[in-house]
């Protein structure tokens, strides 16, 4: 499975980045998050990046970033593997 974002629904509140850091460290430590969100208030753009350290929140019912995204911008989808 993988986590995808619809940036049209994203409000750039960075809650996903913050809760992800809590999953990894039991502290609020955005630098240790698997997610990085940035936004430009001048041109309105939002950038959302997921790093390879994401473990889809093993031991949780659903990834915490998805659970806490109140705007519905994040969702879990099944990963389709490409075959030769």
Partner 1 sequence: MIERGDITGCLAGKILRINLSNQNIGTEETKKYAQKTLGGRGINSLIMVNEIASQVKWYDPENLLCFGVGALVGTLAPGSCRVDISTINVFSGGKGSANVGGFWGPELKYAGFDNLIIIGKSRKPVYLYINDENVEIKDASLLWGKDIYETENILRKEIGDEHIKIACIGPAGENRVRGSAIMIDTTKAAGGSGVGCVMGDKKLKAIVVRGHGKIEVAEPERFMRVVAKCYQQCKDEPNTGMMRKSPSNLYSDPEWKGWNTNIVVKNGQDDQWERENRIRLMNCKTGVPNMQKGVRACYSCPIGCMPYMEINKGKYKGSKGEGFWINTIMGHACRFDISDPESVVESWLLTNKFGLDGDYVAAGLSWVFELYEKGIITQKDTDGLELTWGNGDALNKLIKKLAYREGIGDLLADGMVEAAKKIGHHSEYYLIQVKGQPSLEPFRVPKGWALAVSTSPVAGRHLRGATMGGDRYGPKPRPGNFGVTDYQNQAKGVVWQGKTKELEDNLGICNYVGTWSGANFLTIADFAELINSGMGLDLTEEELLNHYALIGRNLEKAFNALHTNMTREDDLPPERFMKEEVKSGPYKGFKIDEDKYNQMLDEYYELWGWDKKTGMQTRSGLKKLGLEDIAEKLVKYGKLIDK
Catalog residues that contact partner 1 under the rule CB under 8 A: 8, 11-15, 18-19, 21-22, 25-32, 38-39, 41-44, 68, 70-71
**Contact (Cβ atoms closer than 8 angstroms) between residue 51 and residue 78:** no
Residue number, 2 or 11, with CB nearest to partner 1: 11
φ, ψ (nearest 5 deg) of residue 9: -95, -10
- The 3-state DSSP class for residue 65 equals helix
Residue number, 31 or 84, with CB nearest to partner 1: 31
Residue number, 32 or 56, with CB nearest to partner 1: 32
Minimal distance, residue 21 CB to partner 1, in Å = 8
- The 3-state DSSP class for residue 76 equals strand
């Amino acid at each position: 499975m993988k986590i995808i974002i619809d940036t049209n629904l994203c409000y750039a509140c960075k809650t996903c980045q913050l809760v992800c850091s809590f999953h990894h460290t039991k502290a609020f430590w955005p630098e240790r998050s698997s997610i990085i969100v940035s936004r430009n208030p001048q041109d309105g753009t939002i950038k959302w990046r997921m790093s390879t350290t994401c473990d889809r929140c093993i031991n949780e019912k659903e990834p915490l970033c998805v659970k806490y995204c109140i705007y519905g911008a994040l969702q879990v989808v099944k990963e389709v593997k490409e075959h030769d």
